[in-house]
Structure 1
């Protein structure tokens, strides 16, 4: 049986956090159980569908072996935080929370207009880069920007911010098209700097994605993530159907996006 996403209480004292983020965000601590130390976390106030994206996206990435910081549903009363967008139950409102890793995002590693080749090389050496690229293609994450990959050097890499999965936080079920070539931002700022052997790694990962997805119980993962608790029954079914039907086209779409200059 899959482990359910933990629900934790936000402790008093959280402070607003701004680092280019457009959502209301705080740095705070979570109470995760008697006798356990509090968890230092980033807390985001999100509407239900975007919260569902975050939870399901993080759960799917974890199921594929990608590095995702521990994540929680954080419950806060109005006396602790002014949560406005999140769903509520009784006196509590719910937020998305991830444990702080102390690792900065890629965008913090330089100043200028062009990503340094040393960072491209570091990502190209990361064993998970192909799976990450194929994952974003599969889940239609349209915003894997330089702020939502944490990079501390070497293999100290984490993927965060999954709210832009399923084409965006305000997706409409009838508009989800499994065959569509949705934007993959890694294809814009990462792939153009790769040579043919490194590009081959991404393409091979895309080719393997249908097999990996077939081995996943998407409904069980969605239930355990608690994403289905935030969606209508129809939207939940459409989300799962979209991902199941999209898996077979990942090799085609991913290979085309990974080699924008016709390397293949």
Structure 2
């Protein structure tokens, strides 16, 4: 099922859309079995859930590859980024598994995900983002467990991609580092809030500049979510005489008054 025109326009305006049933709940369950083993925690013993966040590494097993490459998601990528303009995901990156806890997770600040290396490629805080979104076509939030309002859903500042585009434009090709941009995000404080809730198999497709944040888990069951980028096959073109281009490009150009 392709995205509707109304969904695409909502993406341009709000900076994200929610795709329900992007992959099956059965795939999500298979993936959770793998992830649970790697957490070192027992699914049926909350006494083993001793940390608010357990970070797991790259996952490329079959359930993850199939989830990332469902026909519904491929059609959505074509609609938002353009046919032939993105690279299929062969893995789903890292998983910050969030457990119910009264502890502060320590990673819940507002931010925009950086997309290309800076002076120190080994430091994520030194990675950068520029107005052409070099290295990232979309931010994606893959829910591998049911996520309700108490289950640490990702917080989203609706429409914040527009302010971020304007913050990045003066910085040119070099852009800003993760931390440099984070210090400027007070400009998005007035944006409405949304929460990335949904059943396992839901995927949020987000503009690369969308401001978002984690939060403490106040529910009863751990949250399993991947947040990989969709990589572009070619750079975005923000200077177009014909006004054509993908919805991601159009959202950025509109923010810049082009």
Range into which the TM-score falls when normalised by the shorter chain? under 0.3
Alignment TM-score, normalising by the size of structure 1: 0.27
Higher helix share: 1
Q: TM-score, normalised by structure 2?
A: 0.27
Q: Which has the higher contact order (CA 8 A, sep 6+)?
A: 2
